[in-house]
Amino acid sequence: MDADYVIVGAGSGGSALGYRLAEAGHRVAIIEFGGTDWGPFIEMPAALSYPMNMGRYDWGMGTEPEPHLGNRRLVTPRGKVIGGSSSINGMVYVRGHACDFDHWAEQGAAGWGYADVLPYFKRQEHWHGGHDGADATWRGSKGPLHVTRGPRKNPLFQHFIEAGAAAGYPVTMDYNGEQQEGFGPMEATIWQGRRWSVASAYLRPAIKTGRLKIVRGLARKVVIEQGRAVGVEYEKGGEIKVLKAKAEVILAASALNTPKLLMLSGIGDGAHLQAHGIEVLAHRPGVGSNLQDHLEIYMQFASKEPVTLYKYWNLWGKLTVGAQWVLTKRGLGASNQFEACGFIRSDKGVEYPDIQYHFLPIAVRYDGKAAAEGHGFQVHTGPMRSKSRGTVRLRSADPRENPEIRFNYMSHPDDWEEFRKVVRLTREIFAQAPMAQHVKHEIQPGAAVQTDAEIDAFIRDHAESAYHPCGTSRMGRADDPMAVVDPDARVIGVEGLRVADSSIFPRVTNGNLNGPSIMTGEKVADHILGRRLPAENAAPWINPNWRISQR
C-alpha cells in the first residue's frame, strides 16, 4: 500500500489523528496488531469488566513487583483491538482540569495550555448534556465523539451527589465545562446504548473515505534512514515486511508500547539500548522515563436496603439485563453504571481538585470477579497528582516481548499523606445524611482501620491502578535533555517521526485519560497539517477561597 502517513496503533490518539489526516485528503495506513472490536462484551457498556480481562482484547502486560505495595504485581490492561483501549475501558469521559494543561505549557509544552486545547476538545465532542442545567458554551456539538450522561435512575447516584453537598462541597453540573470542582453527573462515551469507542467515532468513518486503511501486524520498529523515519517494520503471519511512509511516521501505541517501539528503533537511553545490542540512533534518556498513573482504592459500604445492583449479580439477573440490551439497547446494560462523580481538593492551599470519585451502586471488584457481602455500593477514589515516577524499559530486543514496567507507586512520601486524606474525607462524605441513611457499615477498609499505620497497610495491600499510564515520551522544549518530543510532537533528534498518544503528557491530567488522548490525536493532526484552531480565552472556575479552605 502507498501511504503518506503511517500510524502505529488504532487506539484513541491514532484513530483521531488518522481521521483528520484522511479528511484533509491524505492516504493513511494504521498498523494494528489487535483484531475486531465486534461483539457484545465490547459493545455492551455494562459488560466493561470483561474485555479488559480477556487475552483476546488485552496485551496482558503487568508491572514488575512494586516495592512500596508489598511487592505486588499489578495488571496494566491496554487494548489489543481495533479502537485500542477505548474499546476496553470504563467509557468515562473526563477532559482534565484547565490547570493541568496550563501546567503542561509551563513545563515546556508551548501551545498546549488550556486556551490552546479547549478548541480541540470542542471539535472532538458531540455532547448530549445540557438538559440538567449545564452550560453548552463550553462544549462541542458537532464532533465525531458522542458524550452522554447516564439516566441516574437509581436513587443512590443523586444521594451521593447530595452527600457531597451536605459535606460542604460545591455541586457542578458539568465537570468538563467551566467548573470541575464538586459533585455531579458523570459523562461517558456511550451512544444509543452502545460503547462509542474511537473505532465507531473515527476509524469506520475514515475507512469509508477509502483514504485510510488498517494493516494488521505487529509493529517491530521504525525504519530510519539517514536520520529520517521512512516507514515501519512489522510482522504478519511470520513474515517481516516494511510499510513505507511518504511523509511521516506517527507512533500512537500507548504509553507502554510507544516507548518500547522507540527503544527498539534505536531512540532512547544509549546505555540501555547498547545493553540490548541495539544501535543508538538518538540518545534520548527520557524515553520510557516519567511514567505516571492514577492509583485508587475501592471504599465499599454495605447497604441497608436492596436498592443496589446486587439483585442482578446472579446468572438469571445477568441474562435478563443482557437480553434486554440485545433486544432494545436499553436498560441497565446500556450504562457503565458510573453515573455520579466528584472532584475535590484534599486540603487548603491546593488550587484545584486532586481527588476523584467514581461512584458505583454495587460493591464489586473492577474485574467483576467478586461482589462483597450482598447489597452494597462503593467509590473508586485516589489522589490525582502523585509525585511518584516510574519507567518502561525493554525486557529484551524481541519485539514480541512485553516491556518491563515499573510504576514505582507510592515511592514519594507525599503520596501516603494524600491517600490517608482520601480515606478520611471519603468517610466524612458517606457519614452525611443523604448517604448515611443507606449505610449499614463500612466493608472496606472497615471501621477498625483508623490510624495512619492501619490506613497505610490497607493501601499497600489493596490499591489498584486506575489504568491511566502516561508520560513516557514527555513533550517539552527541544533543548530539554529529558524531553522526547517537542511541542509539535516531533521526536527530538529524528526527522519525520512523531508521537500522538498519552506518552507525550508532561504530567498526568485530572481524571480518566481517554478524552485527553483523543484530543492529542486531534491536535497533533493540525500540527502535521500546518494549521491551528484559534485559542479560546475562557476563564475556568477556581475556588476563590482555595488558599484558606479545603472546601
Residue numbers annotated as active site: 468
Please state, in angstroms and rounded to a whole number, the distance separating the CA atoms of residues 439 and 435.
Answer: 6
Which helix (H) or strand (E) covers residue 248, if one does? strand 239-251
What is the C-alpha separation between 328 and 334, in angstroms, rounded? 9
Across 50-204, where does the E strand assignment appear?
125-127, 145-149, 182-185, 187-188, 190-191, 194-195
Residue 350 labelled as part of a binding site: no
263, with CB counted inside 10 A (0-12, 13-18, 19+), is buried
Q: From the centroid of its chain, how far is CA 397?
A: 28
| Interaxial angle between packed helices 413-430 and 452-462, expressed in degrees from 0 to 180 and rounded to the nearest 10 | 100
Helix (H, G, I), strand (E, B) or coil at 400: coil
DSSP 202: I
Question: Does the annotation list 91 as a binding residue?
Answer: yes
The Cα 139–Cα 136 span in angstroms is 5
Please check if 92 is assigned to a binding site. Answer: yes
Q: b/e for 305-319, b at 16 or more Cβ within 10 A?
A: eebbbbebbeeeebe
CB neighbour burial string for 33-70, b if at least 16 within 10 angstroms, e if fewer: bbeebebebbbbbbbbbbbbbbeebbbebebbebebbe
Q: Quote the Cα angle for 391-394-396, to 5°.
A: 155
> Does 514 count as an annotated binding residue?
no
Half-sphere exposure of 455 (CA within 13 A, CB side): 17
Side-chain-facing half-sphere of 497: CA atoms under 13 Å: 30
Asked if 501 and 252 count as a contact pair (C-beta separation under 8 A), the reply is yes
What is the C-alpha separation between 257 and 503, in angstroms, rounded? Answer: 9
Contacts of 309 (CB under 8 A, 6+ apart): 154, 332, 337, 361, 362
For residue 78, CA distances in Å to 30, 83, 138, 344 come to: 17, 11, 31, 28
At which residue does the C-alpha cell 476523584 appear? 356
The set of residues, in sequence order, having a beta carbon less than 8 Å from that of 172 and lying 6+ positions away, is: 179, 180, 181, 182, 183, 184, 343
**290 in a known ligand binding site:** no
What span, in angstroms and rounded, lies between the C-alpha atoms of 379 and 213? 41
The residue whose grid cell reads 452527600 is 163
- Residue 85 near residue 403, CB atoms below 8 Å: no
Find the helix or strand (DSSP H, E) in which 22 lies: helix 12-23
Q: Are 391 and 312 in contact (CB under 8 A)?
A: no
Residue list for the binding site for FAD: 81, 89-92
Residue list for the binding site: 81, 89-92
